[in-house]
Each structure stands twice: as structure tokens, then as C-alpha cells.
Amino acid sequence: TLTHGSGSVFLYVGKCDSKENFLFHRRSDVLMMTPWFAPIVWEGTYNSEILNEQFRRRNVTVGLTVFAIKKYTVFLNKFLETAETYFMVGHRVNYYIFTDRPEEVPKVPLKEGRNVVVLQVQNYPRWQEISMRRMELINSFSQQRFINEVSYLVCVDVDMRFNDQVGVEILSNLFGTLHPHFYAAERQSFTYERRPASQAYVPRDEGDFYYAGGFFGGTVMEVYKLTKKCHEAMMVDKAKGIEAIWQDESYLNKYFVYYKPTKILSPEYLWDDDLGRPEILKKIRFLALPKNHAAIRNK
């Protein structure tokens, strides 16, 4: 008979410390679960040893998509270097770097099982359009390529540095990240698109959280669906001469109202030091770099 832990059917019997009290993985100062039963990932709520073992057994490969168009290639070196130290340590990783300047992609030494893939794409004159077109490009590459190469996609901004562990605890079918400015805010203050004419419109009495445009992901299939819907919504608006207030972030927020994420990342995963370092943050894992907008945007 197939009894748990008999050792005969399973190649490997877990070595996780069974004496550990699971009640330790709980925090009372933060929301740990949404009303639709999606965990919200905060330091102190999970055991990375158990998670790492589960994902290693599946030999999961994670794709990290990042765009460095025009001057934004200056961010790649720090981004990749810090990702090598903190992103999915011990797992297989493909970095997908979308750029119009492949010659400016730095050669950063990579650990075993990790690859850089440079994807040459066009640029656009306006930074807003560059940011928004990420949806279209991630969508088309998901279908052509990512689906054959990785299980999960993690889609992030490039003007960032990793500052602490970002591991498999983030992975789920569909995940978004609480925007650092709004994680403690009321629905009324969320900066959703409020013009009913826009496809990104969210009515005042809807919406759960305000998510950041700079960190989302999921299985390739779920990211494919998300980016398809967001890109289509943008194109409908564009034909009417509308661009949502926070570009791709607005369309992402609209999507998450109706297709709720199965996991949510706390602002540990997307922080901005302009907001200080509140007590609630036990780790700051991914940090916005200060940038001089005049010098870097539209260049």
C-alpha cells in the first residue's frame, strides 16, 4: 500500500525538520491571505527550505523578463549582478533582455544553470509607449519562445537592484505585487484609471489592492493571457486617443480586479527608499534606484 513516507515509492524522503512548529510561520501585523485565499508573501510567513526542495524536485526553470530600451541599458549591469546574488538562487534561470541596443548588454558572470538571452526589439519615441509595449512583446515571445523554455515568467522593471532573496516563494499561477505607495492605503485613494471611457477604468466600489506595474508574473500561460488582454485594451484606448493614467500599470490593475492573482507579493518585493524603511518590512528584496528622469527618459 501507498502510505505516506514509506520510503519505497518515493525516491527521496524529505529531510525538512518535522519538529519545527508551523505556527512560527505566521505574522499578526500584516494581512497574510486575501478573501479569495491567495497568500500574501511577507518574510516570516513561509519556509524557503521546504519550497526550494519542492521546486528543485520539479527542476523548474524561471524566466526573468526585463526591458532595457535606449538609455535604460545603463541599469543592466547592477540589475544582473544583484540578480545573480539574490534571484532564484539554486534554481534554473533564463534572463530575457529586451533591448534595441544589444551591443550595450554587459557580460556579467553567471552561475551554473543560468543564461542570458538577448532579444532585439524596436524602440519608441515616448517612454510611456516603451513601458506599455512591454505587454505586447512579452505576449508574442511567450507564444513563440518562453512556453518552450521556462515554467514561470517574472516580469520586472530594470531601474532596480536586488537587495535580498527573491526565491520560489513568489511563484504561483498568477502573481502581482503590492505597490509600495499604497499597501496601507484605502481603496478610495488607489490611483486606478477613473475615466469610464478607458478600458482600464475601475469603478470606485471595485478593486482589492493597488498593484505595481514593475513586478508581476505567473506561469507562461497565465502571463500570456494577462499580457494579451492588457495589450488589446491599450489598443482599443489608443484608437480613441486615450492612454491610461499610469500606462501599463493601469491596465494591469484592471486585469487583476477581474482575474484575481493566486499569490500576492508584499512591498518587500518592490520597495522605494523614498518611503523610508518601516518596521513592517523585515527584508527589502528589490529596490528602486533613483534615476534622473531628464537624463534617462526619451534618450
Ligand X SMILES: CC(=O)N[C@H]1[C@@H](OP(=O)(O)OP(=O)(O)OC[C@H]2O[C@@H](n3ccc(=O)[nH]c3=O)[C@H](O)[C@@H]2O)O[C@H](CO)[C@H](O)[C@@H]1O
Q: Which of 12-19's residues contact partners 24+ apart within 8 Å by CB, and which partners?
A: 12/57, 14/50, 14/53, 16/47, 16/49, 16/50, 16/53
94 versus 99: smaller Cβ distance to ligand X:
99
Q: Is 245 annotated as a binding residue?
A: no
The stretch near Mn ion (CB under 5 A) out of 41-49, 138-146, 156-164, 263-271 is 156-164
Name the residue among 50, 61, 48, 57 with its Cα closest to residue 11: 57
Residue 249 annotated as catalytic: yes
Q: Is 280 annotated as a binding residue?
A: no
38 versus 155: smaller Cβ distance to Mn ion:
155
Closest approach of ligand X to the CB of residue 276, in Å: 17
The stretch near Mn ion (CB under 5 A) out of 126-134, 154-162, 176-184, 272-280 is 154-162
Give the separation between CA 156 and CA 275, rounded to whole angstroms.
Answer: 20
- Which residue is closest to ligand X by CB? 213
Residue 138 site contact among Mn ion, ligand X, none (CB < 5 to 8 Å, cut-off depends on kind): none
Q: Is 99 annotated as a binding residue?
A: no
CB 135 within 8 A of CB 230: yes
- Which residue is closest to Mn ion by CB? 157
For 2, phi then psi, to 5°, come to -95, 85
Residue of 169, 193, 249, 268 marked active site: 249
Task: Please give the full DSSP string across 36-71, using - where no structure is assigned.
Answer: TS-BEE-TTSS-HHHHHHHHHHTT-EEEEEEEE-GG
Enumerate residues 6+ apart whose C-beta is below 8 A from 32: 26, 39, 40, 42, 45
Closest approach of Mn ion to the CB of residue 175, in Å: 18
Q: Is 197 annotated as a binding residue?
A: no
Which residues are 84's β-sheet partners? Answer: none
117 versus 289: smaller Cβ distance to Mn ion:
289
Enumerate residues 6+ apart whose C-beta is below 8 A from 131: 213, 247, 248
State which of residues 42, 94, 159, 212 lies at the interface with Mn ion (CB under 5 A): 159
Q: Is 202 annotated as a binding residue?
A: no
- Binding of residue 248 to Mn ion (CB under 5 A): no
Q: Is 91 annotated as a binding residue?
A: no
Which residue shows C-alpha cell 524566466?
63
What burial class does residue 294 get, using C-beta atoms within 10 Å of its C-beta: 0-12 exposed, 13-18 middle, 19+ buried? exposed
User: Residues in the site for ligand X, rule: CB under 6 A?
Assistant: 67-70, 72, 127, 130-131, 157-159, 212-214, 246-249, 270, 288, 297
Q: Which three cell numbers stand for residue 105?
A: 548588454
Residue 130 site contact among ligand X, Mn ion, none (CB < 5 to 8 Å, cut-off depends on kind): ligand X
Q: Where do contacts with Mn ion occur on this chain (CB under 5 A)?
A: 157, 159
Active site positions, annotated: 249
Annotated binding-site residues for UDP-N-acetyl-alpha-D-galactosamine read: 67-69, 72, 157-159
